[in-house]
Structure 1
């Protein structure tokens, strides 16, 4: 389920608790796992979490703050009033002291609901059982503890390469799409770029020095506008998927015959990770199931490490991975597509692909297009990161945006 929330620039946002009260709903009604999603830091995701927690507390539910980062913002700190906060774990690493969420303490406390900020956070080595905070959330959910959390759009795995092109900043901390899509509810916390920049100028997000740097870098109007559009599109895709699931009684009976199913053929050529992420976004818009296949031609592939990385990425994107063998990759892909009722095939990135080197420039792509066309399957060729070349009658994926490189992010950990 996906819903939307819009924030004001200088005042505390309208309380989500009031809407929850009116609907006689809380975390239990909304589902065990709720995510507040925003385009950037400062849109009000933590406010929304705390508003919901206060509503649940007033109702008598057992709610704890497992970890909330106030960043010294008085408004955020005020929203914590009356909520039980689980003490953090102090960790020493490379001569410095860090505070991390104490997963074991939260599990021992066993609340009904736990609030956890910054889902994409990487835990300090030695601080606990998991490398990533989203893995901590997974453990809490497995222990039957409901979780309310938040994330910025740049940390979603399938969007990471697009964000890097938009901002010029590599996104180091990422959350698998499969984790995001598993949420019982994703709620959009929205703010216009102008409003967010005003909040920055009013020092409601960063300190003055960091705010000035951010306004010249990550928080330019152009960058924020594109990130907002990306966030809205991700939420809209989720709403369409929710609608499809709710109408399962009428659509589900024919889904096997009418649903789209996409296959991505990957190799060890540079750029296949970007192709896979774009294909995942394309599949989400088509409400298509996603398969990924690697065709091993001849001897064992000497670049197993790259294939392992792609296999992990496919898993993070919620795709099914299959290893195929055959002397002709085109035939292997089309035969597999026929067995799995594939309707769309994506391959790339064109001239640099190992298959093309093995079989002559362009020959595999031409043969794939012919064989797939005979089988009624559309083929999309991603010639390079950010572009696509498809047969004339094939539905084209989205065109990637190319914006100028911006200055470094004012808050590196926000990426």
Structure 2
């Protein structure tokens, strides 16, 4: 049996206000061809299908059109989709009955019965081979919020009213327990030696996150889960959330497929991919990356922040091939500044005039300036006495190591004017 693992599509995402529908459609078209060419039996989509919980109608049509076309081109294909932390679980599950009729199973929510127990059956999805027989069981676990997991209780110690564990510890332990319970149920079903495949949207210990593009799952930094939560006889774990394709704990069968296209400039160097997994009985055999063609390039100019004069010269000399506007590369300009540069954007835009490129971001990096004297920390009473222009002066001094120029002070004062045009710092603040 052959699986294809993908995740983190983020349909509907914009890159610094630029629409990316064209890029997502190019990926989905490529994926359709790949499903047929590689003779895939089951497609696993491990969460963050949409970029936000309220996706546009266009983004939803894009998803459902893909699912319809995939089933039409590969009639025996099983498709399993779980919700990620960016998705609305309810919205993703809403068309579930219609999708199931066409071979797609969506698991967005963890559901409890009248007795409060989690319905583990909903998390178990049979995967069938080309002959229609069950060849594997997929434990499909969506992104779990604290209320979704079993309550963990430990023995109380002196001074505690009950045995409830610390909130973070209870949450993480509850996630691990739910995976183990679902795996145990899958093991009961796998009576003929079928493989058990886990699927989840979570952050594993040691996982390499991408700056600027991945939303933290839990505030506090303790959200990483250990690889030990997967049973030893798990054939493969198809994970979502991290955008860089990677192994977990250097184990070949525990994988993040990564996102199919770069979702921020920090991902420029990633080799975006989906993963093809050949199951050999109850175990995973060959696991191969299939690299996704990049429909639109992301450029960082220069490679490292440089002084403005050098940056402008490099932009003027930028030679790019002609392309239709929807295929123009996105550009991040990286400038090293000694001080404020009010006309920065105008200079950059002038250097790029007439070039087939989309200016997405100007990233200024300022040299660290240390003032000769460091003022003592202010008390709360002193902070309460500060006016907005006092704070502006202090921040300017802190960042640039000099007094704020008169023209900047005047501009800031103009921002503070109320509608009647009379300056009133407290009212404006």
TM-score between both structures, scaled by the size of structure 1: 0.29
TM-score between both structures, scaled by the size of structure 2: 0.29
* Structure ranking higher on relative contact order (CA contacts 8 Å, 6+ apart): 1
Flag the structure with larger Rg.
2
